[in-house]
Amino acid sequence: MTLLFMLLTVVLIQAMVAGINLAIPSLAAGGLHPSHTDLVWVVDAYVLVFAALLIPLGALGDRIGRKRAVVWGLALFAASCTISALAPNVLTLQLGRALGGAAAALAQPATLGVLLAVYKESRTRAVTLWTVALGVGGVAGNLIAGAVLRSAAWPWFFWAFVPAAVVVLVLTALLVPQVPRFPSRTSAVDTVVLAGGLFALLFGIIEGPEHGWASSPVLGAFGLALALLAAFVWRGRHGRSPLLDPRVFAIASVRAGTLGVAASFLALFGLFFVNAQFLQDVKGYSPLLTGFAILPLAVGMLVMSALAGRTGAGRVTIAAGMGLIALGLVLLSFVRAGTPYPWYALCLLVTAAGLGLCAPALTTGVLRGLPPARAGLGSGLNSAAREVGAALGVAVIGSVLNSTTSFTAGIAIGYRVLAALLLVFGAVAVAMWPRGDAAPVGEAVPGGERVRVPGAEAGTAGLGEDLPETPGGGVVTGVAR
């Protein structure tokens, strides 16, 4: 039952991330009268706050208890959906979405922490199923949105999540066992600096086409982002209680896994942002038919995730997965209004197969680099990379659309830009990946050593603790490889 409720929590969180894209046409035509930039911020408010708070709230979950973090997160999630559904204006909707992102950041890292604590003998399976739930949640969100929006306005999309969140919350509180807490620390200053840096970066990308890339607001935003993110790294290296010590990225599997996850979801959520609009506005599909038309994404992820669990977390697996995602995006860039659906479905299947192949391996790399006591933080770091990538993907393709006069031409260019970015960052991630196939989560690899990070204290790995590391990089549950 624990596995079921933790996976359902992940599905709910990710369904909200993806399902909102299907509601964009309804929102655009609704009484709030949002601009295109407003719509981008409606989408990105959730993922931006989600990304900015994943690491601090992942550490908080380790401290207050992972089950409690899931329960509190689900309560906030239900509240955020209620606020969004009742929003009288665009700003209130965006604030409701932001609260939902905070709720997701509290609950999602804790779900994986609970699974790894409860299923100690089958961690590889737990990680694989958790990763699959991320992708299934995205497809479920499209199906939920399609079913609701077929006969109701966009507020009912948010209302649909409230009873589901309450039911999962109650069953989790009653049936999921408590797992051990671990000492960890958070830093309000670091959290604000990180969130401000990410917000400034996304502001520059989203507002560039409207204000001009050389305009003072956009250049100022990029300058502020650079300064704040540099300050975050400096505090991590020199602060007394940093939120994240950047030296954790000296572990090759953590460094490569984080970059690979961000790049993969940059591509995927760029696709999600325009996919539903293309099917409804260009192909003329209803919201419900659009939800079913996206099902190949779930099929590809499920089938290839099962295969990835048997092939291991090696370079070949990761490179092949990222290559398939890029290929799928390039193929999608040639799709037009008259393209037969079977060809379109094949393009989605190729893209999803790539994600299903590489995502479990990349997630395993991040988690393997930190000891099991820091599973909440490891999950937070992995999820933060994913949500930062998702927010950037939406911002990038939204920026491309703002720069073109034709929607179909814009998405064609956008898909190719996303594919190019994925190939560049993916190649870097593969090059950094430890040589040889990695062991599954929970398996010790002999021959490693543990090195001390200067200024170490008891607490969170990567936050002033012994960081297990080797020349090849990567660790398995605290044992260096």
Residues 163 and 308 in one domain: yes
Domain presence at residue 463: no
Residues 177 and 205 in one domain: no
Does pTM surpass 0.85?
no
Domain presence at residue 459: no
Domain presence at residue 319: yes
The residue out of 414, 432, 450 marking a domain boundary is 432
CA distance 250 to 474: 9
CATH code at position 249: 1.20.1250.20
Query: What is the pLDDT, as a whole number, of residue 70?
Result: 96
Domain presence at residue 11: yes
Residues 193 and 317 in one domain: no
Query: What is the pLDDT, as a whole number, of residue 102?
Result: 94
What domain range is 309 assigned to? 2-186+243-432
Nearest 5 degrees, angle CA 437-CA 438-CA 444?
Answer: 135
Residues 84 and 215 in one domain: no
Domain presence at residue 238: yes
Closest CA to 113 of 467, 405, 378, 369: 378
Give pLDDT tens digits along the chain (481 positions): 899 999 999 999 999 988 898 888 889 888 999 988 888 889 889 988 887 788 788 778 888 889 999 999 999 999 999 999 999 999 999 999 999 999 999 999 899 889 988 887 777 788 778 877 887 888 788 889 999 998 899 999 999 999 999 999 999 999 999 888 776 666 788 888 988 888 888 788 878 777 888 889 889 999 999 999 999 889 888 877 777 778 788 888 888 999 999 999 999 889 988 888 899 889 999 888 988 998 898 888 878 877 766 655 678 889 999 999 999 999 999 999 999 999 999 999 999 999 888 888 888 888 777 766 665 566 667 877 887 888 888 888 988 988 888 899 999 999 999 999 999 999 999 999 887 544 443 333 333 334 333 333 333 333 333 443 333 333 323 322 2
Residues 201 and 261 in one domain: no
Residues 208 and 307 in one domain: no
Residues 225 and 323 in one domain: no
Query: What is the pLDDT, as a whole number, of residue 239?
Result: 75
Q: Which amino acid is at 258?
A: T
Domain presence at residue 140: yes
The residue out of 242, 262, 285 marking a domain boundary is 242
Residues 231 and 248 in one domain: no
Residues 341 and 408 in one domain: yes
Domain presence at residue 470: no
Closest CA to 161 of 115, 112, 99: 99
Residues 156 and 222 in one domain: no
Q: Which amino acid is at 464?
A: G
Domain presence at residue 475: no
Residues 274 and 347 in one domain: yes
Query: What is the pLDDT, as a whole number, of residue 376?
Result: 56
Strands 475-476 and 479-480: antiparallel
3-state SS, the chain, equals CHHHHHHHHHHHHHHHHHHHHHHHHHHHHCCCCCCHHHHHHHHHHHHHHHHHHHHHHHHHHHHHCHHHHHHHHHHHHHHHHHHHHCCCCHHHHHHHHHHHHHHHHHHHHHHHHHHHHHCHHHHHHHHHHHHHHHHHHHHHHHHHHHHHHCCCCCHHHHHCHHHHHHHHHHHHHHHCCCCCCCCCCCCHHHHHHHHHHHHHHHHHHHHHHHHCCCCHHHHHHHHHHHHHHHHHHHHHHHCCCCCCCHHHHHCHHHHHHHHHHHHHHHHHHHHHHHHHHHHHHHCCCCHHHHHHHCHHHHHHHHHHHHHHHHHCECHHHHHHHHHHHHHHHHHHCCCCCCCCHHHHHHHHHHHHHHHHHHHHHHHHHHHHCCCHHHHHHHHHHHHHHHHHHHHHHHHHHHHHHHCCCCHHHHHHHHHHHHHHHHHHHHHHHHHHCCCCCECCCCCCCCCCCEECCCCCCCCCCCCCCCEECCCCCCEECCEEC
User: For the chain, how many structural domains are there in total?
Assistant: 2
Query: What is the pLDDT, as a whole number, of residue 345?
Result: 95
Residues 178 and 222 in one domain: no
